[in-house]
């Protein structure tokens, strides 16, 4: 089982705001990075650090963190944002890295 916990599925109406969360003890001292994976494609980095977007990632994607919870927020969700989203951070048991179980985002 993952040391980072995500809700398996979340839905959002087109154009509305959605928050995807990731919980884990390691998040109290280390930021999460977030990855978007569409069917049949490799994952893509969308957020890292406190709230940094790689080049080419729309500014409707943002990140935040509080206590043991990291959040990925999509403000004004688009149909193309429908995908699986994974968080990644340190593993509190001492391994370098661990992924959350993933959240399937449906845009209605």
Q: Footprint of other proteins on this chain (CB under 8 A)?
A: 2, 30-31, 33, 35, 37, 42-45, 48-50, 54, 84, 86, 88-90, 95-102
Cβ distance to other proteins smaller for residue 36 or 107: 36
Tell me, what DSSP letter sits at residue 81?
A: G
Beta strand extents in 14-102 (DSSP E only): 18-23, 33-37, 44-47, 61-66, 69-74, 83-89, 98-99
Cβ distance to other proteins smaller for residue 76 or 84: 84
Cβ distance to other proteins smaller for residue 34 or 81: 34
């Amino acid at each position: 089982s993952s040391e980072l916990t995500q809700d398996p599925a979340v839905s959002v109406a087109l154009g509305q705001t959605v928050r995807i969360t990731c919980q884990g003890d390691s998040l109290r001292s280390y930021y999460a990075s977030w990855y978007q994976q569409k069917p049949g494609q490799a994952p893509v980095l969308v957020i890292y650090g406190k709230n940094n977007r790689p080049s080419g990632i729309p500014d409707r994607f943002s990140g935040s963190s509080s206590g043991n919870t990291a959040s990925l927020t999509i403000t004004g969700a688009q149909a193309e944002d429908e995908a699986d989203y994974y968080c990644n951070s340190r593993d509190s048991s001492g391994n370098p890295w661990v992924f959350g179980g993933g959240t399937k985002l449906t845009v209605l």
